Amino acid sequence: MVAAAVEPPATEPHNGASATPETQNALLVAFARLLAMYGTPAHRVETALAALASRWGLRGSFFATPTAVFAEIEREGETTSRLIRVEPAEVRLDRLVQLDDTLERTLAGELAPDKAITRVREIETKPALYGATQTAAAFGLMGAAAAVFFGGGVWGVGLGLLTAMMVGTIAMTAGRSGRIARVSEFLAGLASALLASVAVAAMAHHGWGVADAGVVSLAGLIVLLPGLTITISVSELASRNMVAGSARLVSAATALLSLGFGAAIGARGGTAFVDWMGWAAAAASPTPLPEWALLPALLSAAVGLTVVFHAPFRALLLFALVGGFSFGTARFCSLVVGPELAAFLAALAIGVVANIYARACRRPTALVTMPGIILLVPGSMGFRSISSFMSEDAVGGVQTAFGVFLVATAIVMGLLLANAAVHPRRVL
């Protein structure tokens, strides 16, 4: 279980009415910016802000997008309008847990607004749980796990690990440089495909082993694929947040195009280098690993997700259990009803478990839904769709793209039905 550092309750309840308007506005702005920054869906951001304003007896209207939150607050006949600019960042579950705790205690009257704003600012300035080396290693673990899931064989798993670590290093470097950040997806796709094609050809030429360059490249990019972003965008569209959903969907499509374009150039560059070296292409397909290899792959994925999502390491057991439950449910259902309905049923099961967990443990549902649906989201399908278009296979690209939205919609409908069946009793 992930536990946030909880302050002792105040001796007397606070409803926030005695706080100054400046303090109330500052707290609303801080919550709006941080919740949107860490990837909270627009409808949840708006619900949280509206609940907080209502707790103080204010009339508030809020409009959230991935890059900005608009707020209009009516107080004693006077209206204040604010535009909060948001710089989207990576998912930070450690901070979301503490923000959720602060929000819930403020709504319950246990935390005065002035203390709440102090705590929110402390949460924002907390140092990262994991460094660049740990994050790059987590990329590698998830790349190795993805190679197992995609049937990459022993050599595919090893190359997937190395390729994903290289991609993780590029992502960490881009995070420290604004200029590189603008082309990070392109560089990651380029480096992943180039390394995969050259390494696979070199192994085949020297008789070391057989691997699939496409699987290795896809495994290397697995963390950067915006499947989760696509799923969140569909959930926002389903919640009638059209602007936020459309903006997030365009952002995901742009990331996929950058990754696919980079991968196409990398693959052609690798092919040109292999031809120049006179190496023969691999004729055989890799032998998939036995079924028991899925267990260490799931554990590897859980460790990687714990680091990539910036969750405390004590959440590893929870992530492993949720990931195994999600993967097992989806795989069993796919044998009976097909992949799309299997994604719906798996998301429904994960949503119900997440809501029960939120009610029982007083934690945000994201602690269960994030590691649960990440194994269901159609990021790899989106990448294959772009690859098909790059290979001038328009029919295959359209079919795969349709499958992406079908699976994403199935996941969202499962989560929405889970919320209708079991209410989490949490704002986030």
Q: In the structure encoding, which two tokens stand for residue 328, read together?
A: 């097992």
Nearest residue to 34 (alpha-carbon basis) of 82, 98, 79: 98
Query: Do residues 354 and 368 lie in contact, with contact meaning Cβ atoms separated by under 8 Å?
Result: yes
**Cα gap 130→110, rounded to integer Å:** 31
Query: Do residues 359 and 425 lie in contact, with contact meaning Cβ atoms separated by under 8 Å?
Result: yes
**Cα gap 232→193, rounded to integer Å:** 28
pTM, 2 dp: 0.88
pLDDT value at position 396?
67
pLDDT value at position 190?
93
Q: In the structure encoding, which two tokens stand for residue 392, read together?
A: 């001038």
pLDDT value at position 8?
37
- Tell me the one-letter amino acid at 160: G
3-state secondary structure the chain: CCCCCCCCCCCCCCCCCCCCHHHHHHHHHHHHHHHHHCCCCHHHHHHHHHHHHHHCCCEEEEEECCCEEEEEEEECCEEEEEEEECCCCCCCHHHHHHHHHHHHHHHCCCCCHHHHHHHHHHHHCCCCCCCHHHHHHHHHHHHHHHHHHCCCHHHHHHHHHHHHHHHHHHHHHHHCCHHHHCCHHHHHHHHHHHHHHHHHHHHHHHCCCCCCHHHHHHHHCCCCCCHHHHHHHHHHHHCCCHHHHHHHHHHHHHHHHHHHHHHHHHHHHHHHHHHHHCCCCCCCCCCCCCHHHHHHHHHHHHHHHHHHCCCCHHHHHHHHHHHHHHHHHHHHHHHHHCHHHHHHHHHHHHHHHHHHHHHHHCCCCHHHHHHHHCCCCCHHHHHHHHHHHHCCCHHHHHHHHHHHHHHHHHHHHHHHHHHHHCCCCCCC
Residue range 230-266, pLDDT digits in tens: 888 888 988 889 999 999 989 988 988 899 899 889 9
pLDDT value at position 387?
67
For 230, 234, 338, 406, the CA distances from 396, given in Å and listed in that order, are 20, 22, 19, 15
Question: How many CA within 13 A on the CB side of residue 245?
Answer: 18
List, for the chain, all residue ranges whose pLDDT scores fall below the cut of 50.
1-13
CA dihedral 267, 270, 276, 282 (to 10 degrees): -80
For the chain, the maximum distance between any two Cα atoms, rounded to a whole number of angstroms, is 79
Query: Do residues 320 and 328 lie in contact, with contact meaning Cβ atoms separated by under 8 Å?
Result: no
Residue range 321-333, pLDDT digits in tens: 999 998 888 888 8
